[in-house]
A and B are shown apart, each in its own frame.
Chain A
Amino acid sequence: MGTKDTIYEGLFNYGITRRDFMKFCTTMSATLALSSTSIPKIAEALQQKKKPYAVWLHFQECTGDTESLLRATKPSIAQIVLDIISLEYHETIMAGSGHSAEKALHDVVKNQKGKYFALVEGSIPTKDGGIYCVIAGKTAVEIAKEVCGNALVTINVGSCSCWGGIGSAKPNPTGATGTASVVPGIKYINLPGCPANAENITATIVHYLTFGTLPALDRYNRPLFAYGKRIHDNCERRPHFDAGQFVRKWGDEGHRLGWCLYEMGCKGPMAYQNCPTVKWNDGISYPIQSGHPCFACASNDSWDVFGPIYNRAPHVPGASYQATADKIGAAVVAGTAAAVATHAVIRTFLGYKQKERFSKEKNEADKMK
């Protein structure tokens, strides 16, 4: 694998031209939302730095994040594996298996202690001693403690390793959670998403190589360059939202004309990610562009709090499955109106017990007639 080479040499050996290399640096600079003056810095760092070691752990997941990485074309998966990082362990794409595969992982942990990236995909089950995810006789909790605990930095790829993802959705049968809560005190960065965008994974590593630090993070430990802006504010269907043109049914005229998916349950107004600008699969498309509402996959609340994917309003916690705030609210208002009406009717039948003063006055007034 030639891990002693610098990244640039590796790329050169792989047949990448200087021009392609500079293009890659420019793409990374743009993804990281840096100015064009940082392109030479990135180029310099990648030419001088040794390839970093990295291991990729799989826990309770669907391999969607790996699929996302395999579709990275800037640079291609082969280039990432061979040139940008020295990926020593990745269950899906590694050639080795069994003991030799496990040896590769342990060698990295032992020999490169505190120097390697641990990329984690999938949630970690904590219930019943963590028996729901066991690899090579060790539970996910044990593996995470050993590998993430000794890593330079842990990169949580996808929502599952960030905070449990779909595995931790109610009722969370396996007690699934993210790496940060299983191995407290580690240096980590969250790249949530279902799956995480490969551009953002690559850009995070490049940022670390160039500047020696993690990119600026938000309150959920997500890099601001990728999760700092709201999808709703960058959405190409936003003009239809402002105009009041909404899709009401799948395949109706509005849907065919590309109108806003707000009423179909789009969570774009609550979702923070760079999907509308970076897009997916080499910038081809992303869910909203292809006519499907966003369900805020990069949010901790997408499953339990934001409610059903195709519902605008969330379900009220504690209420029955179908109870939305609107149903309960309308019932409360209707009940109030009914109570008021009943009260008025009973009052009328009981007769107004007006103050004596009133009747006195009336009598006086009658006398004056």
Chain B
Amino acid sequence: MFDKGPYVWQPQKLDMFRKSRKAQDKRLYVWQLPVRLSHWLNILTITTLIITGYYISDPFMHAISEDQSIMAKMRFIHFVSAHILIASAILRIYWLFAGNKFARLKEFFPYTKEKRKEAIEFIKFYSFLKKEVHHPIGHNALAAISYSFTYFMIFLAILTGYALYSESHTGFFWYLAGGWVFGIISDGTIRLIHHSVMWVLTAFLIVHVYIVWLNDNIEGNGLISSIFTGYKIYHKD
């Protein structure tokens, strides 16, 4: 039906196929609303932050007239997005303790022996050393490690970002938020970290989208649609 001949729209047959499939499948509610919300806020804000942040570091567009205020606008968008990202992070941190077992803190630190084995299995799977691998319902161990690493990167970006923000926003609150970092590392290093995180997150975005597409394709577990609906398809076998 899907791989033979020219495609013909046959709604009844498609429906039958869907029904037969549905009978075998289990739809599991995995990603709760706060998880999905935070995920999409992260995507939106991080993409915006990467673009505006790169502009701030290297102003590739030049104003034609004085009233364009490109840099001021870029900085404004950068700061607003940063605060939305922080709001998203607060929501996600809360959900690390309040969410279901796929959203909890424990999920992101696969320290048990089985989990470590699982991570190695996945490394083998992605480097063509193994043809099949068992996919757990939530995050697999390797994905969990990569997300913990990404969260740490985002944390670094927020901390160094607040530190840099405190340079133009003086006061006790901004000192608490990030100004104290200057007592530990110097201004130049803070900027270097903040800038490097941008490149790491860009690389992560590429890998993340590819791996998700790959797994959705191989596993047929509706991984891509699951981040919209929350439901993952889990097969009988």
Contacts and interface: CB of A to CB of B under 8 A. Distances in A.
Contact of A312 (B57, B167, B187): B57
A116 to B, nearest CB: 33
Contacts of A263: 58-59
A270 to B, nearest CB: 4
A363 B218 CA distance: 17
B186 A365 contact: no
A350 B131 CA distance: 10
Contacts of B126: 343
B13 A369 contact: yes
Interface string A22-37: 0000000000000000
A128 interface: no
Contact of B13 (A269, A307, A328, A368): A368
Contacts of A314: 188, 191-192
Interface in B12-68: 13, 16-17, 20-21, 24, 57-59, 61-63, 66-68
Contacts of B220: 354-355, 357-358
A304 to B, nearest CB: 9
Contact of A343 (B62, B187, B210): B210
Contact of B189 (A233, A305, A330, A347): A305
Interface stretch (A46-54, A59-67, A180-188, A239-247): A239-247
A346 interface: yes
Interface string B115-158: 00000000000101001100000000000000000000000000
Given A230-B167, A244-B59, A357 B2 contact: no
A243 B199 contact: no
6 contacts: A248-B62, A299-B186, A306-B187, A306-B188, A356-B237, A364-B20
A365 B17 contact: yes
Interface centre among A269, A330, A336, A356 (most CB of B within 10 A): A336
Secondary structure of the A contact surface, majority rule: helix
Contact of B72 (A219, A242, A328): A242
Contact of B71 (A244, A336, A364): A244
A178 to B, nearest CB: 16
A170 interface: no
Contacts of B196: 316, 325, 328-329
> Chain B: interface residue count, which band?
35 or more
B71 A243 contact: yes
Contacts of B67: 243
A336 B206 contact: yes
B195 A353 contact: no
Interface of B: 1-4, 13, 16-17, 20-21, 24, 57-59, 61-63, 66-72, 74-75, 126, 128, 131-132, 167-168, 182-183, 186-189, 191-192, 195-196, 198-200, 202-203, 206-207, 210, 214, 217-220, 235-237
Contacts of B57: 312-313, 326
Contacts of A364: 17, 20
Contacts of B21: 361
Closest 4 CB pairs of A and B: A329-B199, A244-B70, A305-B188, A244-B63
A362 interface: yes
Given A355-B235, A361-B21, A316 B192 contact: yes
A360 to B, nearest CB: 9
Nearest to B193: A325
Nearest to A254: B62
Given A243-B68, A246-B62, A313 B199 contact: no
Contacts of A365: 1-2, 13, 16-17, 20
A344 B183 CA distance: 46
B194 to A, nearest CB: 10
A16 interface: no
Given A361-B21, A366-B1, A368-B13, A242 B210 contact: no
A299 B236 CA distance: 65
A39 B71 CA distance: 41
A243 B59 CA distance: 11
A47 B200 CA distance: 63
A355 B188 contact: no
A368 B182 contact: no
A348 B189 CA distance: 43
Nearest to B213: A344
Contact of A219 (B4, B59, B168, B183): B183
Contacts of B70: 243-244
Interface string A93-130: 00000000000000000000000000000000000000
A244 B207 contact: no
A202 to B, nearest CB: 27
Given A230-B167, A355-B235, A368 B17 contact: yes
Contacts of A358: 220
Contact of B128 (A262, A350, A369): A350
A177 interface: no
Contacts of B66: 239, 243, 245
A136 interface: no
A135 interface: no
Given A333-B202, A336-B203, A244 B218 contact: no
Interface string A265-302: 00001100000000000000000000000000001110
Given A313-B57, A357-B237, A364-B20, A301 B206 contact: no
